Structure 1
Amino acid sequence: MTETVGATKPPGLVDSYRGMGRFLVLWAGQMFSLVGNSMTRFAFIFYVFHTTGSAANVTLVALFSFLPKMLASPTAGYLVDRLNDKVALLITDLGTGLVILVPGFLYFSGGLQLWQLYIASAVAGAIEAFQYPAFSAALTTLVSKPQLAKANSLLSAARSGADLAGPVCAGMLLSLGSLGLVFVVDAITSFIAVITVVLIPIATRASVGEPRIRFWEKQLTGLRWIWAHPPLRFLALMFFVVNLAGAFGQVIMQPMVLARSGGSSATLSVVLACVGAGGIIGGFAVSAWGGPTHKVRGLLLGLLAVSVLGQIGLGLSGNIVGWCITGFLNSACVIVINTCNQVVWQVNVPTELLGKVFGGFVFLAQLSVPIAIALAGPLADHIFEPWARSASADRLGWSALVGSGPGAGMATMLVIAGTLGTLCGVLGLMSRSLRQLGVSTQAALAESDKQ
């Protein structure tokens, strides 16, 4: 067979990553840092539970880490645009590395106390608020618009890989009897990330003049911009509801598996490994594929898949095979959602406002997460678990779907959360605002292809 003269071959997989060298170096550095952060989170939880035996104290660690990160997001987004992306990334990596050395020093000196871990978690969380807006904004200068989906999915794969590798690595170090060694390794990984940020040039995004207003008003710039653009406002508010349902599922999934498996830690470990594998494989698969062509539609279809397969399916499954399959699919589909969502914001927001707007989006979208964390446990213990074992659940036929033993109430909560997510996906597909957003996104991506 002869080739047609002048014909061009379609770009191969390797060719599609051409020009992404700077991003890939930064990505590798951030992956080390994410693994270190995941190790420390696991070590904090292990230490607190081992020391106090209290699940409530473990929940406090998560809240002390998450709340400052969420509340600081608008301020971090504003400062990212003022400082430039390179400085913001250095603040994140260097700051978390230095903060984690403090509990490490206290541990080796024999003076580590519980309240000090709470403070370290809060300070590290506030510093990490810079990472999402800084890296999301920097991507627009590191790769071309057609490559944004590849880059965003690789970042999601790195986070999933860190969530899987972090506890494993921390567990190995803790088995040696040294919590302090986990802190040291985390600090080293942060400094590796710092080196990559220092070595790689990151272009400065265009800045925009600002009126003379008070500092606290400047922090609201991103939120005001989102509110002034109905399609993106609708998307942010939809994520508020979706994250409420998703956080319920995330908090409830692990105790549900333990309750329904007779407290088997081995079963939970296998399920969590499948969840992590789904995120890793999904991230690399979406990166190679490039993600759905229509980003908004792909986001909404991914949401439907997560809600139906990952939450309703997980709640209705009653054995390790079902939990592993639904957990794997859930994580893989979340990658599609996050990748499409990132691209939508990156191509529809003016470059000079990306930090502020991403900070505002994080604040709006994750405002519901602490609500879910605070309510999930009491709702499971005092309402859904007792009801699932009651005669009324049996009369309604619900027990035939989820069972009536331990964990049935938490399975019911997963089904409810998945139903809420499904409704959001259906309403999103029917929304005129999101259809307009899909059109503007495709137009921006098509324009970049011509350049």
Structure 2
Amino acid sequence: MRIQESLGALGDRRFAWYFTARTVSTAGSVMVPVALAFAVLHIDQSAGALAQVLGVRTLTMVVFLLVGGVVADRFSRIVVLQVSHVLTCLTQALAAYLIISGDATLTQLTVIEGVNGAVSAFTMPAMVGVVPLVVDRSRLQQANALLSFSRSGLSIIGPAVAGLLVVGVGPGWALAVDALTYAVATVCLARVGLPRRSEDAGAPRHSMVRELREGWGEFTRREWLWVIVLVFGLTNAIHTGVVGVLGPLIAKSSASIGEAGWGIVLSAEAVGTVLMTLVMLRLRLRHPLRTGMLAICVLAVPMVLLGVAPALVPVAVGFFLAGAAVEVFGVGWSTALHEHVPVSVLSRVSSYDALGSFVAIPIGTFLYGWLATAVDTETLMLVSAGVYVVISLSALLSRSVRDLSRTSEDPATTGAAADEPARS
């Protein structure tokens, strides 16, 4: 595939503006994990404090996810994104002001991130539902890869810049940049212009309960979908606990890594993602979920290295490999959703996906905050890595996951024919 063909999705004006909005907002967001983690640790240097802020954010997101999916399917997804972006801008600006002024408390940051979590519950389902509406179906994988390329490309420098800002002027300035980018992205989204949902025009609105039930039916009738979500519900809890809670603590206590080094480590992960994206722009995945679940096992590598060799170079290499693996799964998963789930229910289905994938994260976050004080770090990391691999590979026991293949047909018109993988 030639380069111009790989970038062909950008030829659609609607996707080009959507791509621009996502890129601009991501430019600030990639600095937030580093900035927020060390902002909390500057207030209270404990795993429990960091677990509290991250856990509450995820908890509020989980609580509102299903509502967010219904809202995104019922109303204009662009308007939903614009409203959520404005709210994110305001909350991040408030957090930045409190941190920069030196008045921030753990309670304040917990509440602000809780609000951000609730807002993201509306953002994520809307984003998933936009892509099939602004790009031709033949370019779905390329569009998903381009969006990932933008995100991961910015992630190369974002965490490193955030680490330098934390050391130089403090973490609040990274959050201030994030607030500004969401304001700019809101303007870009106004230029997208989604097509009118003619099938919904003049149709009576059903109750939210009925629409949730319809989304649940679409979700449960696809074995490959709920199996993957169940697996990630468990592995995300492990990954968030290890990387989100223990990672910054190990980095802070390591003379070889430190705060700035942790930003470099996360940037190395993004480099791996970017390089793999270039491959994904040109390579068609015949069985996206089979390949993705094999690749995702690589995320155990940085867990092991953080436990046995917490030095900058080996940990950065481990995160580089993990970033490449995440890209393989991410593009394959997004493409599978876009090709096999009807657009009319895609946001609701994605909200069930996100709910199942994230519901255990608060538990994992708080659990690892406690385990950090009760279990030897090296042992905890090695056990976590082993369990992560076993759970990930268990998804391949499902033939529906192993055999799901690409389709060129529109799931909105093919119905159940596109719902199940081809069987030999």
**Common fold, TM-score beyond 0.5?**
yes
1:195 match: 187
- Counterparts in 2 of 1:7-406, with a 5 A limit? 11-21=1-11, 22=13, 23-104=15-96, 112-171=104-163, 173=165, 177=169, 181-205=173-197, 212-213=206-207, 215-216=208-209, 218-251=211-244, 252-256=246-250, 264-265=258-259, 267-286=261-280, 288-307=281-300, 309-312=301-304, 319-383=311-375, 385=376
Distance 1:59 1:200, change over 3 A: same
Deviation of the 1:323 alpha carbon: 2.2
1:403 match: none
1:396 match: none
The C-alpha deviation readout for 1:318-362, integer Å capped at 9, x for no partner, is 654432222111111111111111111111111100111111110
Distance 1:325 1:173, change over 3 A: closer
Deviation of the 1:382 alpha carbon: 1.0
Q: Is the 8 A contact 1:141 1:205 kept in 2?
A: no
1:236 maps to a residue whose letter is V
Q: Is the 8 A contact 2:256 2:311 kept in 1?
A: no
Distance 1:161 1:135, change over 3 A: same
1:408 maps to a residue whose letter is E
Distance 1:39 1:263, change over 3 A: closer
Provide the C-alpha distance between the structure 2 equivalents of 1:269 and 1:191, rounded to a whole number of angstroms: 25
1:222 maps to a residue whose letter is G
Distance 1:218 1:321, change over 3 A: same
The alignment of Structure 1 onto Structure 2 pairs a total of residues equal to 408
Distance 1:274 1:179, change over 3 A: closer
Distance 1:259 1:221, change over 3 A: farther
1:419 match: 386
**Secondary structure at the counterpart of residue 14 of structure 1:** helix
Distance 1:261 1:175, change over 3 A: closer
Q: Is the 8 A contact 1:299 1:337 kept in 2?
A: yes
Q: Structure 1: give runs of 5+ residues left out of the alignment.
A: 1-10, 386-406
Provide the C-alpha distance between the structure 2 equivalents of 1:105 and 1:269, rounded to a whole number of angstroms: 22
Provide the C-alpha distance between the structure 2 equivalents of 1:269 and 1:183, rounded to a whole number of angstroms: 15
Q: Structure 2: give runs of 5+ residues left out of the alignment.
A: 414-424
Shifted more, 173-182 versus 17-26: the winner is 173-182
Q: Is the 8 A contact 1:160 1:279 kept in 2?
A: yes
1:64 maps to a residue whose letter is V
Provide the C-alpha distance between the structure 2 equivalents of 1:417 and 1:53, rounded to a whole number of angstroms: 23
Provide the C-alpha distance between the structure 2 equivalents of 1:75 and 1:420, rounded to a whole number of angstroms: 32
Distance 1:16 1:44, change over 3 A: closer
Report sequence identity in percent: 23
Q: Is the 8 A contact 2:51 2:369 kept in 1?
A: no
Q: Is the 8 A contact 1:206 1:352 kept in 2?
A: no
CA RMSD between the two structures: 3.3
Provide the C-alpha distance between the structure 2 equivalents of 1:111 and 1:246, rounded to a whole number of angstroms: 32
Deviation of the 1:244 alpha carbon: 3.0
Provide the C-alpha distance between the structure 2 equivalents of 1:319 and 1:43, rounded to a whole number of angstroms: 21
2:297 maps to a residue whose letter is L
Shifted more, 14-23 versus 251-260: the winner is 251-260
Larger Rg computed on CA atoms: 1
Distance 1:268 1:97, change over 3 A: closer
